[in-house]
Structure formats: structure tokens, C-alpha cells
Amino acid sequence: MKFVVIFEDASTANPDIRSKFMQQHLSFLDENKVEAAGPLTDPEDKGRDGLWIVEAEHPDDVEKLVRNDPFWPTGLRQSYTILPWKQVYAAGKKLI
């Protein structure tokens, strides 16, 4: 089953955290086969918050991923929401 994870960054987080831990974060995403990930942007095109698309058996598996992400213990992330997602369209093709 696919899940979307939406992250909200802490407004009090040090702005250097993202760049300091980015390589560890990207390696973690690669090792855990997160299908897609990236920051959301604001009108000034500054990265903030985030979104993942993950394949997993259960939401608890996704929560474990979130908690093991190198960004999590830094205080960058304030919260997250895990939502089941049914993909119906990809790469120019209907999937249903």
C-alpha cells in the first residue's frame, strides 16, 4: 500500500539544520526505498516542510521510517501526518 507523509517543520528550528543533515537524510531515503520525497516551497521558493511517498505494509512501518530519519531528532520537524494513498495515474497512464 502507498502512503503520503506530510511533514511540518518547526518554526523555531535552526535554518542550518536542513543543509547540515541533508546528505544523511538523502542516504536514508535511498536506503529505505522512499519512492519520492522533497520539500514544499513558499512564495520565495525556500524549502520548508516536506512530503514523502512510501510503499509499506502498514502505517506503523511508515511511522518507524519517519522516526529513524536523520532529520527527526534534530528538531527540524514539528509534526507529520501519514495518509493512505491510492495512486490512479502515473507516467501518462491510468492505473485503474
- The domain in which residue 42 lies consists of 2-94
Instruction: Give 41's pLDDT tier (boundaries 50, 70, 90).
Output: confident
Identify the pLDDT of residue 42: 73
- Find out whether 41 and 92 touch, Cβ atoms under 8 Å: no
Q: Which CATH number covers residue 50?
A: 3.30.70.1060
Residue 15: its pLDDT value, please?
A: 81
Q: How far is CA 49 from CA 37, 58, 79, 87, 91, in A?
A: 11, 23, 9, 22, 26
Mean pLDDT of 64-92: 96
pLDDT score for 88: 96
Q: What is the pLDDT, as a whole number, of residue 80?
A: 97
Q: Give me the mean pLDDT over the 56-79 stretch.
A: 96
Q: Once rounded to an integer, what is the mean pLDDT over residues 60-88?
A: 96
Q: How many domains does the chain have?
A: 1
